[in-house]
Amino acid sequence: MKKLLFLLLIGSIAFSNHLFAQEKNKEVLESTEIIQVQDDLDSLLNVWYVKKSMEASKMEAVPDSLIEEVSDSVYIARLNALPMIMEMTYNDKVRRYIEAYVRRGKRSSSAIIGLSKYYFPIFEEILDQYGLPLELKYLPVIESALNPRAVSRAGATGLWQFMYSTGRMYQLEVSSYVDDRRDPIKASYAAARFLRDLYAIYGDWTLVIAAYNCGPGNVNKAIRRAKGQRDYWAIYNYLPKETRGYVPAFIGATYLMNYYSEHGITPVDIDIPLHTDTIMVNQKLHLQQVAEVLNLPIEQLRELNPQYKKDIIPAITTSYSLKLPVTYAMQFVGLEDSIYAYKDTIFFDPKRTVVNPPTYSSSKYYASSSAEPPSTKGKTKLIYTVKSGDVVGSIASWYDVKTSDLKYWNNIRGNMIRVGQHLAVYVPNHKVAKYKNVNKMTASQKNKAVSRTSTARTSSSKSQAYNRNYVYYKIRQGDNLWTIAKKYPGISNMDIMKINNFTDADVRKLRAGQVIKIKKKM
């Protein structure tokens, strides 16, 4: 009997030590996961925009000593007050992640909050298009710390941390020159589709988030090992180690983004342009060409266009997008030929003669692919008198000429013109009758003329025979692709652009009365 009691005692001690070791291992694992969160936050500080803004910022976080300790009951009340579809569970694991963001990671968290002003509107618009909970916008905070260039040890890339295979599955291009996983807009559309597909499997958002991190195969395995229970906390111990902290981290990031001010964290004003425009590039182009001609920092171009791995836009057989601050997008359109030609021999063709760089002190600089000014051979000179409200781009569109040509003919610097100024416009001899009265037209008449021309072009180049698989929509006054897409559940403005083969330039020229097609949802 004594021997049996002794063996039971030894066994009990051994089992207690085993449980203690397990708990210790869990604590070490959770600490490791939190350290990884901290490392991700710290890496964000090396992003050019963030680094530049942090250096310029004089704001400092309030020291912890001046902030009262937050009790569990306060954390619970704050999480419960958030108007969210997803359940914001609170426990000791969640608390550790909350404090990783609001205490240990204050400096980096202030940068994330500043960046959210740029990225969250993108995420929200796309999540809304797919009818997904808007709180999913917090996923990239824990995935990448809002760093589009983030790469995990496993090779997951971008804001939404797509692996190569998953990215390709959702039509993201990954090549030597382009990685769409870094493109905030394309990757967000892919993430929305992926999340929608996962919800169709689980019908539970915490399981969806877990599956987003480790894949549905691992979640299904955990559900089987938990005897069919379909609750995140019930399958918690059966999930891969690196996934167990994922939902707590998500809840911690959600808390941070809603209650940072309660912890004395002040957002850093990140110097990233909130108003941008997208240009479709149809020729091979180096970002350095754009940077030097438009006098933009190359780092800014890289941050706005992180998908181009080698600074090269490989537009040879297909068009690619280039995102620019709005004011610079207008300049790009006016200097497009000059930009393509600038130092093209250095960047792409060493056999050709180098084109001299543009001289901005002289508005006569002009460079085409052959470094020659626009020809006036076979053309007639017309005179247009500038009126109040006129801009260079509009005048060029009324005569169907390039903005850069109009500037060259009239020695225009930048986009400055004045009322009463006489502009020379050269039009083909056989089209003189069409354009000779433009100078006498009202603004409404000129815009209608452009609308007819644009519609005719679109109709001739993009029209197709009636197909019952499509809905045909006639554009009304005040419509845009976003408002049209909202009329058709499951359809996005990008879907409409793709099905109609529209470029961004086509979208800007859409007019009332034009007919577009929309794919029917089966």
Q: What φ, ψ does residue 436 adopt, rounded to 5°?
A: -65, -25
Closest among 330, 291, 333 to 308, alpha carbons compared: 291
Q: What is the dihedral of CA 485, 491, 493, 495, to 10 degrees?
A: -140
d(Cα 390, Cα 316) in Å, to the nearest integer?
35
Closest among 522, 463, 518 to 492, alpha carbons compared: 518
d(Cα 259, Cα 78) in Å, to the nearest integer?
8
Contact 303, 48 (CB under 8 A): yes
d(Cα 73, Cα 84) in Å, to the nearest integer?
19
Contact 402, 348 (CB under 8 A): no
HSE-CB at 456 with a 13 A cutoff on CA atoms is 6
Contact 423, 410 (CB under 8 A): yes
Contact 419, 470 (CB under 8 A): no
Tokens of 403: 């903005």
Closest among 189, 231, 180, 175 to 206, alpha carbons compared: 231
> For the chain, how many residues are written?
522
Identify the burial level of 41 via C-beta atoms within 10 angstroms of its C-beta, where 0-12 means exposed, 13-18 middle and 19 or more buried: buried
**Count of C-beta atoms within a 10 Å radius of residue 337:** 19
HSE-CB at 103 with a 13 A cutoff on CA atoms is 15
Please report where in the chains the tokens 């416009």 appear, as a residue: 425
**Could you give the angle at which helices 216-225 and 184-202 cross, rounded to 10 degrees?**
30
Question: Which ranges of 215-366 does DSSP label H, i.e. alpha helix?
Answer: 216-225, 232-235, 241-244, 246-259, 287-294, 298-304, 326-334, 336-341, 344-347
Contact 133, 127 (CB under 8 A): yes
Tokens of 273: 């342009």
The catalytic position among 143, 299, 303, 372 is 143
d(Cα 244, Cα 249) in Å, to the nearest integer?
9
Question: Which ranges of 465-512 does DSSP label H, i.e. alpha helix?
Answer: 481-486, 493-499, 504-508
Contact 214, 239 (CB under 8 A): yes
Q: Which amino acid is at 210?
A: A
Residue 143 a catalytic site member = yes
- Which residue numbers are catalytic? 143
